[in-house]
Structure formats: structure tokens, C-alpha cells
Structure 1
């Protein structure tokens, strides 16, 4: 039972290597951006991009174009999260292969930049202001560990949230053949509500990933 349940998250099942093609489906939605007359979708997406740009610029504290890195990160995760909600489409963001690929290079680049260019500033971050001298060695250890596990927490948070919702939908859907007509109607309503919740989770998790990456970036400046 467990093998069948988790087989939806196995990239080697069903369509084999084509499963990872779901990551590239987002590129099919890009051509409308080149139309001469902007569509409603285009205007909505531009509104989202500008809103994120101003918010990330406030977090970073500089009016540089580096916000576009985090907006692109948000877009990639958002599209992949939504693609996973469609039937028979592989959810690439439910795998640590995908999420660690996004989180680890970002965190590593922040650390290299910070320790090379702002070494004293990075050392100062290891001891929070107002820490008693006797606790300083422990605080350095705690802050170092919390800094090292950041890419892991980013990746696991996104993967776990994607897996949890999909598993709940699958578990409830598998009980449909054993229910009466009244219970099936209740199940359908429940599934629709869960799907709405998953849509919200897809947006929230991509936003959380991008915001936390922005905050990590602002700490090394």
C-alpha cells in the first residue's frame, strides 16, 4: 500500500524521464508576453512582479536589480507547484533534487560573498547583541549550526508541504470506490476544498521560499 501511495512521487515510474518535463511546461506560458496588446494575464503578472520587486527591494535595502533573481525564483517554484496540482503531472518541487538545487547554490553564493567581502560583519552575526560573555561560545555554535542548515530547511519545507497535500488528496480519493453515493458527494466537496487549499499552499510556499532567500541575502550585506 505504501509503495503504491508514494509511487506518485517516484520520478522513475509512469512516464520515466518525461516526468521531469513538467518543470519545463511553464515555458509554454511565456509566448503571450510578447504580444503587442497585453492580455489580462500579462497585466496581472506584471502587477505581481512589480509588487514583489518593491517588497524585495525594501528587504534587501538596495535599489539594485538583484530582486529579479528572487522574482525568477518565485516564478519557477510557483509554476511548478501549480503544475503538480493537475492530474498525471509530476510534481518536481516535491523532490529534494529540485528544491536543494534551488536552495543550495543561493545559500552558498551568499556565504561566499559575505565571508569574502564582509568578514567582520559575518563574525558579528554569530554573536547576537546583548549576549552575556559566558554564553558567547554557545551562541557561536548555535548560530553556526542554524546558518549551515538553512538550505536544508528551505528545501525540506517546500518538499514536505508539496508532498503532504498531495498525499492527503490521494488518500481521500482512493476511498471513493468504497463509499455510498451521499458520502461520494461529500468526498467530492472535500476534495475541491482541499484542492483550493493546495492552490493557496502553492502560492504561499513559493513566496516563503523567495522571501527567506531575500532575507538571507540581506544579512550578508
Structure 2
């Protein structure tokens, strides 16, 4: 039962032994080129408004580390995760962000680049970060160990947070949809209503999780300088 339940996240569409499910990542780019050749519409203005809000927020978070164009990588990260989370809500589209192979591939290079930049260019500041201000001398070795472990597991926590949230909502919707064959027909309307509410919730989770991952990445980058 459990293997069958989680098999909905397996990339099983193959053509000539090549997995085609990951091509769903490219579907998000279909939403973007319209702004270059169509008259700006409400979709364009809403997306531009969101991007400007994110730019201003990332700029405030980076503070002294901000330089022109430094927020673009985080805005791109938000857009990529949001499009893939949202596309996974459509039927027969593979949810790529439900796999650690994708989420870890995003968080690990970001974290590694932040750590390399911090330790190579400002190692004194990085050492200071290992001991919070006001720590008693007897606790300093333990705090260094705890802070080191918390730094090492950061990419894993980012990846697992995104993957777990995507899997949880999809599993719940799948379980409820499987109940349609065993419940009385007069309860089908009630089940559909619950599924609609869950779909709305998952739409909110798709944006919230992309926002959380991006904000945490921005905070991690602001600590290395």
C-alpha cells in the first residue's frame, strides 16, 4: 500500500528509456516570454509588482551586502520554485519539487558558494559567528559544535522542507480521491468540496514554500559578510 501510494511521485514516463517527466520543468518558461512580444496585460503587471516587492525585501535583508543585481539570483530562485510547485497541481504534470534530487541540487550549490565565499574572504567573521555573543567560556566548545552542525545541515533542511511540504499535500489529495470509490454517492459532492479547499491550500503552499526557501537563502547569504 505504501509503495503504491508514493509511486505517484515516481518519474515513470519513458521514451526510449529516457525519463520525460523532468521536461515539465521547462513548462514554467512558457509563462515568461509573453512579456517580450505581447502587449503588457494584467498578468504582466501582477508579476512585475510581485518581483518589485521581492526585490525591495531582499535588498533590505542583504543590507550592507547588497550590490546592484545581487537580488536577481534570489528572484530567479523564487520564480523557478514557484512555477514548479504550481505546475505540479495540474493533472498529469510531474511535481519535480517533490524530489530531493531537484531541491537538494538547488540548495547545496547555493550554500556551498556562500560558505566558500565567507571562509575565503572573511574567515574572522565566520569564526565569530560560531560563538554567539554573551556565551559563557565553559559553553564555548559546545556552541562551536552546535553552530557547526547547524551550518552543515542547512542545505538538507532547505531541501527536505520543500520536498516534504510538496509530498504531504499531494498525498492527502490522492488519499481522498481514492475514497471516491468506497463512499456513498451522496457524499461525493462533499468530497469534491474538500478537494477544492485542499487545492486552494496547496496553491497557497506553493507560493509560501518558494518564498520561505528564498528568504532563508537570502538570510544565509547575508551572514557570510
Q: TM-score, normalized by length of structure 1?
A: 0.97
Question: What is the deviation of 1:36?
Answer: 5.3
Within 5 A, what are the aligned runs for 1:52-71?
52-61=54-63, 62-71=66-75
Counterpart of 1:210? 214
**How far apart, CA to CA, are the structure 1 residues paired with 2:156 and 2:87?**
23
Identify unmatched segments of 5+ residues in structure 1: none
TM-superposed CA distance for 1:37, in Å, is 2.3
The two structures, once aligned, show a CA RMSD in angstroms of 1.0
Structure 2: distance between partners of 1:198 and 1:36? 30
Q: TM-score, length-normalised on structure 2? A: 0.95
| 1:80 and 2:91 correspond | no
**Unmatched runs of 5 consecutive residues or more in structure 2:** none
Distance in structure 2 (CA, Å) of the matches to 1:37 and 1:179: 49
1:174 aligns with 2:178: yes
Which 10-residue stretch deviates more, 61-70 or 182-191? 61-70
Distance 1:174 1:212 in 2: 36
Classify the secondary structure of the residue corresponding to 1:141. Answer: helix
Partner of 1:19: 21
Q: CA shift at 1:63, angstroms?
A: 4.2
Shift of 1:35: 2.7
- Number of residue equivalences: 220
CA contact (8 A) 2:13 2:19 kept: no
Matches within 5 A, 1:100-119: 100-119=104-123
Cα deviation, residue 24, structure 1: 0.8
Structure 1 residue aligned with 2:37:
35
Runs of 4+ with >4 A deviation? none
